[in-house]
Structure 1
Amino acid sequence: MTFKPLLQHFKEMKHYFIVVVLVFGVSFYLGWANSEQFSHFLKDQLEGLKSLSQSLSNKDNPQMWFFFIIFLNNAVKSVAIIFLGLPLGILPLFMLVANGMILGYVLSLQTHESTLSIVLKGILPHGIIEIPVILLACAYGLKLGMLVWKSAAQIFVPVANRTASAELKKVLTLTKPLIVIIVVLLLLAAIIESTLTYWLVHL
């Protein structure tokens, strides 16, 4: 397994990268600016996270528990969302929208004075790695979904070269090194979140 073909393929993915960044950005804005309209949905998401956080805080060595839960949660979801994109890329889009809105909603709850502190202490240290990795996984999930759609269309529409099926196989092969990169980066993010972020938040 080599990483060079994957890195080269990133150039072909630029339009998908742009799309996921735009969707995430718009979702963030919706969560920030329209928090009252989406409050019920977003509060349900946050309540689950709050309950889990409180449960882990009461355990012996909570930082170790935070590390394992954060890493497993992010790694499993990020890897799964790549392949869950096969049904036309719907679930990666949902993940982008949900994560963007939750982040925007959380920051909208803070006062202007505390927002910068929340970002610098609670999000930036690990988020600078975690968020791009999630966007990367969603981009490839969307790519697979689009290729499935194109492959299905080419079955019914006569074309000289059925390129979509060949490209789908190529991208599925590239998911092996992609998963390795995602897992390693999320491992690093989980270490930072369970140590540096944990320490900064509890100052």
Structure 2
Amino acid sequence: MKFRQLFQHFKEMKHYFIVVVLVFGFSLYLGWANSDQFSNFLEGQMKGLKSLSQSLSGKDNPQLWFFIFIFLNNAIKSVVIIFLGLLLGILPLFMLIANGMILGYVLSLQTHESTLSVVLKGILPHGIIEIPVILISCAYGLKLGLLVWKSGAQLFVPDKDKTARAELVRILHLTKPLIVSIVVLLLVAAIIESTLTYWLVHL
């Protein structure tokens, strides 16, 4: 596994990381400040999660079931979204915006507790790992999408080096250590969310 090359490549990805953080932050603000305008979309996104959460809460060992669901859901989505970036980078961008708006909308609904309390108890313990991992996945998905665009454009410019295609192949090789890193970190995040976060929320 080329973990050293992957971490070195993070330096090359700094502009993409900045972009996804800004887009995520702006989407969070949109979901929080304009909850009425986007309520139908956001409620639709959350309805399935609410139903599933209620179902898991009714099982004999809800924390174990929450752990299994949280880990598989986040790991599968984070890995798949990288490769869906090959479809011109559209789906990683949508996932980034949707997640930011949903989180902002959830925070806007907190009427019984302060937003700070909700963040500290329900989001921060596991989110400090989970959110950066999801942002990294989206960043690599966007990078692959941009390289697909560039590779297509370079087909019509025969006098230039095919640098985009070579870079695309290089990043695809780096997805192996990237996936391992994502899965391990999300495993840790799922353990925290199904134990510490679960306990704090139910205090």
Same fold per TM (> 0.5)? Answer: yes
Q: Which amino acid aligns with 1:80?
A: V
Aligned to 2:52: 52
Distance 1:117 1:22 in 2: 24
Aligned residues: 203
The answer for the alignment partner of 1:183 in structure 2 is: 183
Q: 2: distance between equivalents of 1:115 and 1:27? A: 17
State the 1:34 CA deviation.
Answer: 0.5
Runs of 4+ in 1 over 3 A off after TM superposition: none
Q: 5+ unaligned residues in a row in structure 1: which ranges?
A: none
The letter for the 2-side match of 1:22 is: L
Unpaired runs of at least 5, structure 2: none
Alpha-carbon separation, structure 2, partners of 1:184 and 1:23: 25
Give 1:105's aligned residue: 105
Alignment of 1:25-104 (within 5 A): 25-104=25-104
Deviations 1:9-40 (A, max 9, x none): 00110110011011101100100110000000
Structure 2 counterpart of 1:195:
195
Contact 2:86–2:144 (CA under 8 A) maintained in structure 1: yes
Q: How far 1:160 sits from its partner (Å)? A: 3.0
Instruction: State the AA in 2 paired with 1:16.
Output: Y
Amino-acid identity (%): 82
Q: CA deviation at 1:110?
A: 1.4
Shift of 1:114: 2.1
Deviation at 1:113, TM superposition (A): 4.8
Specify the SS of the correspondent of 1:161. coil
CA RMSD of aligned residues (A): 1.0
Partner amino acid, structure 2, of 1:127 = G
Higher mean displacement: 107-116 or 74-83 = 107-116
Q: TM-score, normalised by structure 1?
A: 0.98
Aligned equivalents of 2:10, 2:97: Cα separation in 1: 22
For 1:191, the aligned partner's letter is I
Q: Deviations over 1:107-159 (max 9, x none)?
A: 01113852111111110000010000000000000000000110010001223
